[in-house]
């Protein structure tokens, strides 16, 4: 089974949105820890990352519009806001970008506003929930499981953890004891996001056959056709996160530091991309009638 060509923009949209929301979440958290690090320092080390969130989210929104088939008629998807998770996803995603513009403008003016920032965190997490709910309410047993929410929020947290650690580590600001403590904590959160998904994975696969032939086929795809791909997916994500931790604790030479960190980022991105590909490829619909 292959992921259809028209699903690639959708796959990319989900990952880029989760990257944007996850990074924003962690940047806001870092800026909300005055006892750990001086407010001005926390703003300085995350400023470049805050700038990059907008362009990434904009690309995600463009991909989502073209996935609808008729870009000029995309507004019609907003007409069912009261009953459609797709409509809610679009509204929350667009609002997240709009509030990012506001928060970044305030940041550039030296008037960073925590209230606006945390409002946007809630909006962003709402976009991820709406996104996951589209699949959780489908006719594909592999998607109508809590695993969908774990996967989407897991990727959001892992992306956010990796992005925030790299932004801090690659900044030119002095790495104080407070910043080092934050990096360690973020790394543990990223690791926890992986562990939770791995713990639930066998439970998820074992429960699929209960959903009938479609669920049984999905389970077979995960444990047979995509078994190696699934293993590689988790190895890439774990190794990427571990590389960042290794470089942080071993204090590797500045000459190779950048290459090391960017390689780690590529590993994590590749792992999550492969994981999302498997998510789409193993979704087998229930045959009705």
Integer Rg of the chain from CA:
20
Exposure letters 164-183 (e unless 16+ CB within 10 A, then b) = bbbbbbebeeeeeebbeebb
pLDDT over 90 at 264, yes or no: yes
pLDDT over 50 at 200, yes or no: yes
Domain coordinates of the chain in residue numbers? Answer: 5-281
| CATH architecture type of domain 5-281 | Up-down Bundle (1.20)
Q: What is the pLDDT of residues 69-128, one digit of tens each?
A: 555 445 555 666 777 888 899 999 999 999 999 999 999 998 999 999 999 999 999 999
pLDDT value for 1? 45
Q: What angle do helix axes 177-207 and 39-67 make, rounded to 10 degrees?
A: 30
Per residue in 5-35, pLDDT (tens digit) is 557 888 999 999 999 999 999 999 999 987 7
Q: What is the pLDDT of residue 38?
A: 84
**CB 42: neighbour CB atoms within 10 A?**
24
| Distance separating alpha carbons of residues 43 and 32, to the nearest angstrom | 10
128-162: per-residue pLDDT in tens? 999 999 999 999 999 999 999 999 999 999 999 99
Using alpha carbons, select from 91, 114, 94 the residue that is nearest to residue 28: 114
| CB-CB neighbours of 92 under 10 Å | 21
């Amino acid at each position: 089974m292959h992921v259809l060509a028209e699903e690639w923009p959708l796959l990319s949209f989900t990952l880029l949105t989760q990257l944007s929301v996850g990074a924003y979440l962690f940047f806001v958290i870092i800026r909300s820890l005055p006892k750990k690090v001086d407010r001005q320092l926390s703003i300085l080390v995350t400023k470049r990352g805050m700038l990059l969130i907008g362009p990434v989210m904009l690309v995600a929104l463009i991909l989502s519009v073209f996935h609808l088939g008729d870009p000029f008629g995309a507004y019609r998807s907003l007409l069912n806001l009261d009953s459609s998770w797709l409509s809610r996803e679009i509204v929350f995603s667009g609002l997240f970008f709009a509030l990012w513009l506001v928060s970044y403008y305030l940041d550039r003016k030296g008037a960073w506003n925590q209230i606006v920032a945390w409002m946007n965190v809630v909006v962003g997490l709402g976009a991820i929930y709406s996104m996951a709910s589209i699949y959780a309410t489908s006719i594909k047993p592999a998607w109508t499981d809590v695993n969908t929410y774990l996967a989407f929020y897991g990727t959001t947290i892992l992306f956010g953890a990796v992005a925030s650690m790299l932004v801090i580590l690659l900044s030119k600001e002095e790495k104080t004891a407070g910043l080092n403590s934050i990096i360690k904590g973020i790394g543990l959160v990223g690791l926890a996001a992986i562990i939770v998904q791995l713990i639930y994975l066998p439970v998820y696969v074992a429960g699929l056959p209960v959903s009938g032939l479609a669920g049984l086929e999905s389970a077979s795809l995960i444990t047979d056709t995509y078994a190696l791909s699934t293993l590689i997916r988790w190895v890439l994500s774990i190794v990427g996160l571990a590389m960042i931790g290794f470089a942080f604790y071993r204090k590797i030479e500045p000459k190779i530091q950048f290459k090391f960190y960017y390689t780690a980022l590529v590993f994590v991105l590749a792992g999550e991309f492969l994981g999302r590909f498997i998510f789409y490829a193993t979704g087998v619909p229930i045959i009705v009638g």
